[in-house]
A and B are shown apart, each in its own frame.
Chain A
Amino acid sequence: MLEVKNLTKKFEDRLVLNDLSITVPDDEILAIVGPSGAGKTTLLRCITGLETPNQGEFFWNGKQFDPKNNDLIGVVFQDYQLFPNLTVMQNITLAPTMVKKEPLKEVKKRAEQMLTQLGLQGKEDIYPFQLSGGQKQRVAIVRAMAMNPKILCYDEPTSALDPALRDEVAKIILGLKQSEGMTQLVVTHDMDFAKNIADQIERVKALS
């Protein structure tokens, strides 16, 4: 269970998040929705340690953790941010081998399984620029999953995809919930998509 308690974030004098608390039970999907500028992405960036909140505490299964330093959370960015100089496989294996010092062989085996699950078999040795948007996103998901996170966060996963692919992403997210029991946070402005996937919907309103 992920708990965020009393999260407050200001940029200069502008209050973006005010004393926000959320709870996500294990294996559940929380969709964070709201108009643009409401602070959805900021909320996600605080949880993933990319932004330092002015106030707030984070708990995983009752134990406090530091968003900047933990191996609980994986992130799939809006624009994926794959490393263009590395092949698909290198993108996935880089962090597990360098950070966790896992043997390359094992990471590769796991990666290949996940790539196949997501219909990316045969793409291991090509570079990100050779992939379509939807494929890049799936590689980004595999890359995040390769670090064995407990929580997976998505920033606007549907914004760059055409409507047909939207359902694909929904399937993948729901699939991860079933097969891996992944706790997932999805920031989106797409209400239909949120209703499709989420166990719980958190609405964020613009404060100023």
Chain B
Amino acid sequence: MLNYISGIMPALLSGTRMTLSIFFWTLICSIPLGALVGLGLITKFKPLAWILNLYVWLMRGTPLLLQLIFVFYGLPLLKPYAIIFPRYQAALFAFILNYTAYFGEIFRGGFQSVPRGQFESAKVLHLSYPQTIRKIVIPQVVKIVLPSIGNEVINLVKDSSLVYVIGLGDLLRAGNVASARDVTLLPLVLVGIIYLMLTAVCTIALRMIEKRSSVWR
């Protein structure tokens, strides 16, 4: 059995690499974008808030699987404005679009829970709006949203398995292939263990970040 495991490990690890790559790039892009969307959702400029609300509703209101299919198979059909993404880029685009919406909602809640008095306090000290956001608001918001962001981060590890639908070879797909070929569940058990390890690392990292931000209250 050990022989069998070491035989399929390279395939599983290469799948893990795809999973991690989707995971990291989605996080790196969609967290800052989500913060911007969150700010936009509470703007007094109503048309922008309205458009962003529509976007959030679309992204949260339909399955991510469906969005992946639309981005990869659907956008190329939009003649004469066809947008053709290679598989990997299509997957990233859909994931970033989807996760930015969720993060946007989380950040909106975060921004709204910073007391008005903090803004007024910054205002009478003549801090500019960008200075206020950067030095006062963002640090407070990060602390507030951290647990919710953590949830989404863990979800993302697992959601990344949806990329199989547009033919990308991620961890779950690698396990599936081996499982079907060799008529055994063992590869899928390994897949489960690898996912558990990935989420464990995320959990520990998130705990550490939360701990660091608890020096103030």
Contact = CB atoms under 8 A, between A and B. Distances in A.
Interface in B122-142: 122-128, 131, 135-136, 139-140
A11 B78 CA distance: 52
Contact of B121 (A81, A98, A99, A147): A81
Interface stretch (A58-66, A67-75, A102-110): A67-75
Contacts of B115: 81
A98 B217 contact: no
A95 B135 CA distance: 10
A35 interface: no
Contacts of A49: 123-124
B123 A85 contact: no
B194 to A, nearest CB: 37
Contacts of B117: 77, 79, 81
Contact of B126 (A77, A84, A85, A95): A95
A95 B128 CA distance: 10
Interface residues of B, number: 21
A48 B123 CA distance: 10
Given A84-B216, A127-B215, A127-B216, A77 B136 contact: no
Contacts of B139: 85
Contacts of B124: 48-50, 73-75, 144
A81 B216 CA distance: 15
B118 A83 contact: yes
Contacts of B87: none
Interface of B: 115, 117-118, 120-128, 131, 135-136, 139-140, 143, 215-217
Given A83-B136, A86-B216, 16 more contacts: A50-B124, A74-B124, A75-B124, A77-B120, A81-B115, A81-B120, A83-B118, A83-B121, A85-B136, A94-B135, A95-B126, A95-B127, A98-B135, A99-B128, A128-B216, A147-B126
29 contacts: A50-B120, A71-B126, A73-B124, A77-B120, A81-B115, A81-B120, A81-B121, A82-B121, A83-B118, A83-B135, A84-B140, A84-B216, A85-B139, A85-B140, A86-B135, A86-B136, A94-B127, A95-B125, A95-B126, A98-B131, A99-B127, A99-B128, A99-B131, A127-B215, A128-B216, A129-B217, A144-B124, A144-B125, A147-B125
